[in-house]
């Protein structure tokens, strides 16, 4: 299936809906490719870095020249007119930085210091850019400037998004509508605001000097947890080249400490922050458990998070009415929706992050429970973009690359 989605230049996230190179999709694809074709995995990393901007940002979409019908496409971004953008057209946003982790997995599968010398400076520049450009409140945590930089229409963004003035955004046709059921996708109401944010950011070439130029700014814990783990992996990779990786080592420690400071004892979750509202919140989405992936809680706290949140039937865990876990939104939340995109369905990448986090914190039995359930889900319903938590039915696009790639990674653990 990954081979079918392989254009030769990059692996498409899915056959028709997402025909270009998306950032974290590619990194997650490379993690799976490390199990079957390491050189092809390295190509994925190289392809993504072709889209890097001179200031370090690795964009969320690289529009490799292919003749496909996708909207909103490169014209929405106008990257060619932005200082520091590469020759190849890209979006002006970024995405959770899984790349360093992918490079580490590739290197562990087949060590190649030549490859590290080639790609680590780019990864380093991206991470440095994130802390330089996106730490708006000096907390050590970075902000996303658009829901497209994380889990698009997750309810945690609703309030911040509602504040965005929808007028002024361009009107574009949505190609997703031609391929997928509209009740499984973000609404038009959300979409007009997504476009209005792009329009506002485009006015400053996607480099707001202050929050006043960014209509949406959110300290997302999925993004920050992925970054914390990636900084640690980057420091390890520099070590393979005999370098101390000083910036990455201290960034990893700083991020972990800042994440730890977001713990909410009553909610048994970590708090996120809408920077324009200035209020930390627990909104009942799985992002609040993601610091598990970065090894933030100690074993005791991680166990509590597992028992009282992640695996709790009334929150994210399996229940008689919804046996497939983990849900992306707590079942207690009034916003829980079993079919709509990031508002409830089960996603394989989320499960994979949590499995790896539980393992690193010493919760091997708990990690296995989630791993078994995840593998059962893909064997029952195939490699879909997301899944209905009650029926396990495939939702969104079929033949979704990261679902297949991460399955390859998970089954590799089962080899004797």
Q: How far is the CB of 366 from ligand 2M8 (least distance, A)?
A: 26
Binding residues for ligand 2M8, rule CB under 6 A, total: 8
Among 2, 6, 22, 377, binds ligand 2M8 (CB under 6 A): 22
Catalytic site residue from 37, 55, 152, 359? 152
CB of 227 to ligand 2M8, least distance (A): 15
Query: With binding defined as CB under 6 A, does residue 148 bind ligand 2M8?
Result: yes
Active-site residue among 149, 176, 274, 385? 385
For 59, the token pair is 């964009």
Active site residue 158: no
Among 176, 184, 190, 233, binds ligand 2M8 (CB under 6 A): 176
The closest of 406, 302, 285, 416 to 360, measured between CA atoms, is 302
Among 18, 63, 157, 324, binds ligand 2M8 (CB under 6 A): 18
Q: Does 1 bind ligand 2M8 (CB under 6 A)?
A: no
Print burial letters for 264-281: b (CB count within 10 Å at least 16), e (below 16): eeeebbbbbbbbbeeeeb
**Residue 13 or residue 394: which is nearer to ligand 2M8 going by CB?**
13
- Per CB under 6 A, the list member of 13, 47, 56, 295 interacting with ligand 2M8 is 13
**Is 152 a known active-site residue?**
yes
Instruction: Rank residues 13 and 92 by Cβ distance to ligand 2M8 and give the closer one.
Output: 13
Q: Which is nearer to ligand 2M8, 148 or 311 (CB)?
A: 148
How far apart are the C-alpha atoms of 317 and 390, rounded to whole Å?
A: 11
Q: Least distance in Å: CB of 303 to ligand 2M8?
A: 29
- Contacts (CB under 6 A) with ligand 2M8, residues 327-346: none
Q: Which of 37, 137, 152, 213 binds ligand 2M8 (CB under 6 A)?
A: 152
Cα dihedral 167→172→176→181 (10° resolution): 60
Q: CB–CB of 395/384 below 8 Å?
A: yes
Shortest distance (Å) from residue 235 CB to ligand 2M8: 26
CA atoms within 13 A of residue 136's CA, in its CB half-sphere: 21
Judged by beta carbon, residue 18 or residue 115, the one nearer ligand 2M8 is 18
Q: Does 216 bind ligand 2M8 (CB under 6 A)?
A: no
Residue 220 token pair: 């997302």
Nearer to ligand 2M8, 126 or 238 (CB): 126
Q: Which of 24, 157, 270, 311 binds ligand 2M8 (CB under 6 A)?
A: 24
Q: For ligand 2M8, which is the closer residue by CB, 43 or 222?
A: 222
Which residue, judged by CB position, is nearest to ligand 2M8 in the bound state? Answer: 13
Q: How far is the CB of 348 from ligand 2M8 (least distance, A)?
A: 12
Which among 16-24, 119-127, 306-314, 405-413 is the span making contact with ligand 2M8, rule CB under 6 A? 16-24
Which residues are catalytic, by number? 152, 385
């Amino acid at each position: 299936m990954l081979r079918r989605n392989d254009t030769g230049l990059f692996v498409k996230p899915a056959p028709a809906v997402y025909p270009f190179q998306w950032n974290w999709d590619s990194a997650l694809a490379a993690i799976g490719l490390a199990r079957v074709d390491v050189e092809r995995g390295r190509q994925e990393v190289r392809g993504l870095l072709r889209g890097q901007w001179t200031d370090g940002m690795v964009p969320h979409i690289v529009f490799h020249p292919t003749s496909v019908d996708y909207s909103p496409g490169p014209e929405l971004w106008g990257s060619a007119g932005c200082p520091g953008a590469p020759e190849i057209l890209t979006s002006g946003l970024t995405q959770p930085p899984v790349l360093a982790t992918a490079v580490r997995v590739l290197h562990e599968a087949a060590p190649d210091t030549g490859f590290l010398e080639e790609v680590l400076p780019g990864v380093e520049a991206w991470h440095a850019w994130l802390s330089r450009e996106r730490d708006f409140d000096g907390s050590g945590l970075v902000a996303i400037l658009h829901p497209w930089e994380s889990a698009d229409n997750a309810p945690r963004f609703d309030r911040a998004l509602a504040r965005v003035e929808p007028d002024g955004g361009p009107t574009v046709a949505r190609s997703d509508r031609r391929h997928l059921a509209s009740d499984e996708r973000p609404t038009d109401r959300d979409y007009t605001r997504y476009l209005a944010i792009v329009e506002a950011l485009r006015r400053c070439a996607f480099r707001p000097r202050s929050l006043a130029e960014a209509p949406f700014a959110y300290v997302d814990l999925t993004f920050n947890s992925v970054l914390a783990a990636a900084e640690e992996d980057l420091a390890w990779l520099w070590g393979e080249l005999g370098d101390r990786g000083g910036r990455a080592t201290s960034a990893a420690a700083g991020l972990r400490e800042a994440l730890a400071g977001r713990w909410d004892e009553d909610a048994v979750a970590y708090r996120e922050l809408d920077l324009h509202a200035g209020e930390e919140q627990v909104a009942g989405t799985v992002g609040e458990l993601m610091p598990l992936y970065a090894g933030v809680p100690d074993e005791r706290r991680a166990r509590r998070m597992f028992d009282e949140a992640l695996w709790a039937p009334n929150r994210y865990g399996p229940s008689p009415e919804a046996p497939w876990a983990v849900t992306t939104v707590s079942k207690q939340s009034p916003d829980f929706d079993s079919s709509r995109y990031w508002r409830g369905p089960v996603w394989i990448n989320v499960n994979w992050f949590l499995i790896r986090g539980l393992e690193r914190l010493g919760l091997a039995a708990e990690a296995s429970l989630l791993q078994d359930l995840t593998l059962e889900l893909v064997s029952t319903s195939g490699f879909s973009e997301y899944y209905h938590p009650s029926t396990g039915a495939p939702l969104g696009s079929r033949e979704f690359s990261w679902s297949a790639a991460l399955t390859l990674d998970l089954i590799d653990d089962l080899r004797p």
